[in-house]
Structures are given as structure tokens and as C-alpha cells.
Structure 1
């Protein structure tokens, strides 16, 4: 049952999606409908919005731009929350969050851009708390998933020495939004060392990692995304490093690599991902391994599940929050399985918690 917070009373089951005509935005609209919520599809391009087919699915459409606060205010009217899927988030996150603050509604986005997420935490924690809303940056594959997996692995530990997050993709067919964000996001990436955010060395460290099948041994490079911003917000960690295998980076850097193509009737691509999270405290380690399909399509159930839980009153605190600080991580991940995610939590003492065949 939905609670009586002011943001929920205003819009009930209605959720606005900014960037609805984009690749991820369309998955989010579909997932909201599947979960019984009422989406409002918002886009910056009226022609693309008209051609989207949303009207045929009885989805209300509205046009708004980040350069017009009045258009954003009108577009968010009547909603309980807004999910921002429009990158680059370095440009869109602040104006859309500020519109959410004016409307008194919750805000979520799916940014992988560290500086965008960091800006929301540093500038808007107090305004969001004062407005009685929750703002969740980076509730996507990059960011939110790593945070939830690490939180599930940490369990009852209150502090840890090291977290290593290794991601393997069998390919990466980037969307236009991903390519635009790559050109816009020129900031040096951050990792955690000695308990503090610090710039990643240049060149970035490389290593090899023994993933379970079907990936096996992969060459990886340290490439932190927004999980590096989220996790230290609620976990005391001395060192936090994130890695990506080299295969998808070659695809990403090749300008001829096409955008994602559907491989089934859900619109998901055939891309396979695996995320291997190892948490160490002293000599003990805990490990979570997760696997799924299509990083863009997977983002939709992830962010919609978070939205449902926020509107349902599961999160009591207000402000700019990391997902791992709001939700029971294990329960959250279980809600995505097995349709969207399979995962295995390996506790300290289990022989499988020892990470073999890797070099970091």
C-alpha cells in the first residue's frame, strides 16, 4: 500500500520519465506499465515523441527542455516521482532535480557519470531533505547494481578494508546517448584509496580476472563508474576499485559499432553481463556474482523497483541517498531474480569465497 508522504499523495501511481524516447527510457516506460504504474513520457524532441507510439499504449506525452524551467514544471505536474533517463546527466540532472524539488516529488536517475552523481550529493542533500523528497542518482546498471551487490556482500560488517568490483560484458553496442555522454564526460575518474576519493592513475591499472563461465579469464582495466560515489556514502571502506574487461571497450571505441539490436520480443539485446564483487575485511572475504542480459534493458527493472519501494514508503530517510543505504540489498536483488538477474552470495568461510586465478 502506498504511504501518505506528500510526494506520494500528489501523484499516486504516476511516474514521469524524462528522456522517454531514448533507448533506456523506452524500457523504463514498458516496465512501469508492466508493474501497474502510470507513466508520463517526457522528451525534448516533439517529433520523436509523436513518433514514439506511446499514445497507442495510452501513455500521456509531454514536451520539456532543460533550458525551460516552466516546461519542466508543467511536465512533472501530477506525478509522484520522476525518473531521469536523459543523458548526458552532467547537463540534465540538476535542472530535472530542481524541478522535482519545486514539485515536491521524488527523483531518480540512471547516470554512470561520477561528477553528476557527486554534484547531487554535495549540493542537494539539504534541499532534498528540506523538501521531504528522496533523490537517488545512478540507479542503473553502472552505479546502483554495484552498490546493491556490494551491500549484499558486506552483510553485517560495519566497515571493510577493500571492495573490488569486476564487470565483464561479452560485447557493447552503445546507444547514441552513451556516445554523446562519452564526448561530454571528460572528467578524470575517481576511485577510493586510503578511505578517500582520489583521481585514478593515468594510465589506469590493468590486470587479469578469473570470472566464472562463460567468461573465464579476462583482461581488465580499472574503470570506475558511479558505484564509486554511491558506496562510500554508507559504507566505511579503505579501498574501492572497479574494473571492466577490455572486449566491450574495443566495441565502444570503434565508431562503426552499431547501436543495440533486439534479440527477443522484449527488445533486449543478446549482450551478456557478469558482475563479480569481492569484499575483504582482514583475511576474510565475501563474494557476490551476478549475471544477466543487456545492461540498458536491465536498468529498467532496477530503477522501477527502486521507485516502487520509495513510493511504497520503504525508505524513511529523506535527502540524496544511495540505494544501498535505503533498501535491504539482498531482498532487493531477490526481487529481480530470476527474470532479470541471477546471483550468488558467497559468505566468508565458504571455500568459494577465496578468489582464485586472479591478479590485481
Structure 2
């Protein structure tokens, strides 16, 4: 249905969420509900789905992502599909295929470079032909950095270097993060000389001065899905992504516990800061964002994207990075007060 229908009828389209009972999936359900979207909650575990607190009338469907018939039935009546079930190296392809068969947009929240790249390469043309939108990596990892870098670029048509520096004051990984880390053994990629190339071993390190509360931090290069997104639509000679080593040590420690709720929304107390620097010759532009809980902030990011796709009267179709499809400054501004920009 068109955006005009929703506006005229005062209706909200139904959004399906795969991986609904997972840690990030629950934040996405909460954000969809807050915005008034009817929901189809899909997952692999019936017990966990039943335990979810959801608005009356919400459909709960048990389906494994590799069961095409079950997923197809689950998507009946859905206007869009959000995939929150990692590892996305396993779940993305079958769920993109299901969305294409249903003729609806697909978005996921992967940090996995190989998954994002495969979605672009395998499904971009099919999405354009089917008249739907596909966006991989529309979360904290991937989408946020892509939007910040696009906003920092502004009217520049090319840049010499983009550096994304990400600081977390703690990193209590979810079970899904740990499983994905074990599954994702693909060689990490950077952009150098204007093309994707393997990251050097050992990974380069540097220091970066952040705003409060972080200050000066030791950083290690950890290319994630931001690199894939940015390389799709910006003309840049070098793209590098760094994460502070203090948080990486916590991630690597098998005894680090999962996140625990610290407020009424279920967010952890974790603080993040993403600082993006774009260089063109001797000119420098920067854009930064600070917020709470990398898993929780993914929800307004991906739901804002879905809302814009479903309500845009002149929506383009195909596979996109968020900064290529949306106006980056207005998109970021719409995330206030969850995201503080400067």
C-alpha cells in the first residue's frame, strides 16, 4: 500500500521482526510499539516468544529462517521485515529472499562485513526489479557511522580519508554477539587506494582524543559493516574504523557478563561515543554522536528507517546504504533525545 493510504486512513503498516525474542529484538519491538506500528513477532524459540510482553493482537510466530514456507506464512500481512537474528551470515540470505517473495522491504542490523557485502552483491538487482528496498546493517554498527560520515561529508563529492573512532565505556556482550564473533571468521576489509582491501595483520593502533566522558583513548582498527556501507556510495580514498581497546578487552574476556538493565526502558548503563573525521586535503570535517547502550540505540535507528521507507511517496528501490537513501542530517536529528549530536 502507498504512503498516501496510510496518511489518509490514519493507519500504520504492520512490521515483522525476526529474532523478536533476542536482546536487540526486544528493543526493536518496544520502539515499534511506541510509534504505534502493529507487529508480527517471529522467532525460533516458542517459550521465549510467549514470554514477550507485547500489545494485544500481536501475532507471535515460530519459524526457523531456513524454512521458507513457514517464514512466508509468518510474513502474511507484513509491510516490512526487520531481521535481528544473528549470525547474519546465516540468516540474512534466506530472510532477504523471503522479503523479496513477499514484495516488502528488508532491513537488518548486522556488524558482519561479509554478510552486508553479500546482501548488496546477491540481492541488489533483484530488489530493484521487485520494487522493494533492502538495507543491511541499519543499526549501531554500520548505519550510525554511515549516517554520521555522510553528514560530515556534506557537499563534498569526494574525500581523501574517513576515520571512524568509536569509544564504549564498557562492553557487556550479549549471547548473540558472542555467537556471531565465533561464526564470523571472514578477513576484515578496509578501503585503501579507493577500493576494498584486507586489513593488515596485526591491526594498526593509534590514540584519539574524545569528548567527555572518554578523553584520550588507545584505539585498534576493527573494520565492521560501516566500511561496506560507506564504500557503496561515497568516493573516498581511505576508510578506517577504530574501537577503543579497553572495550575490546572486555569483549574478548569470556567472563564478562551480558548487559543488565539500568533504567525503565531496559537499557544498560553503557555510554558510547562515535567520532567521525573526514579529510579532504588540508580541510577537516567532524561529526560525533553520544548515547546510551549500543544495542538499545539500534532500535530507533532501524525503526526510523522503516518508517521513512513506508511513508515516502517517491521511494527509490534497490539495495542501499542508509546515507545513500536518506537525508543523513534530518535522519540523525530525528533520533533525539536518544542520540546527542555535535
Specify if TM > 0.5. yes
TM-score for the superposition, normalised by structure 2: 0.96
Aligned 8 A contact 1:166 1:277 in 2? yes
Partner of 2:255: 256
Aligned 8 A contact 1:161 1:281 in 2? yes
Measure the CA separation in 1 of the matches of 2:111 and 2:285: 25
Aligned 8 A contact 1:210 1:216 in 2? yes
Offset, 1:4: 5.8
Measure the CA separation in 2 of the matches of 1:287 and 1:110: 24
Tell me the alpha carbon deviations over residues 154-203 of structure 1, each in whole angstroms, 9 at most, x when there is no partner.
Answer: 00000111000000000001000000000000111101000000000011
Aligned 8 A contact 2:277 2:287 in 1? yes
Aligned 8 A contact 1:135 1:319 in 2? yes
Aligned 8 A contact 2:203 2:220 in 1? yes
Tell me the alpha carbon deviations over residues 35-76 of structure 1, each in whole angstroms, 9 at most, x when there is no partner.
Answer: 11111100011122122233x654221111122100010011
Aligned 8 A contact 1:15 1:80 in 2? yes
Tell me the alpha carbon deviations over residues 137-158 of structure 1, each in whole angstroms, 9 at most, x when there is no partner.
Answer: 0000000000000000000000
TM-score for the superposition, normalised by structure 1: 0.91
Partner of 2:42: 42
Which residue of 310, 316, 338 maps to 1:340? 338
Aligned 8 A contact 1:12 1:80 in 2? no
Partner of 1:86: 85
Secondary structure at 1:274 match in 2: strand
Measure the CA separation in 2 of the matches of 1:53 and 1:157: 46
Aligned 8 A contact 2:192 2:237 in 1? yes
Measure the CA separation in 1 of the matches of 2:173 and 2:295: 9
Offset, 1:234: 1.0
Q: Does 1:133 find its partner at 2:132?
A: yes
Structure 2: tracts of 5 or more residues without a match: none
Tell me the alpha carbon deviations over residues 59-110 of structure 1, each in whole angstroms, 9 at most, x when there is no partner.
Answer: 2211111221000100111000000000000000000000000000000000
Structure 1: tracts of 5 or more residues without a match: 345-360
Aligned-residue Cα RMSD (Å) equals 1.6
Measure the CA separation in 2 of the matches of 1:154 and 1:33: 34
Q: 1:1-360 to 2 correspondence within 5 Å?
A: 3=3, 13-54=13-54, 57-313=56-312, 316-337=315-336, 339-344=337-342
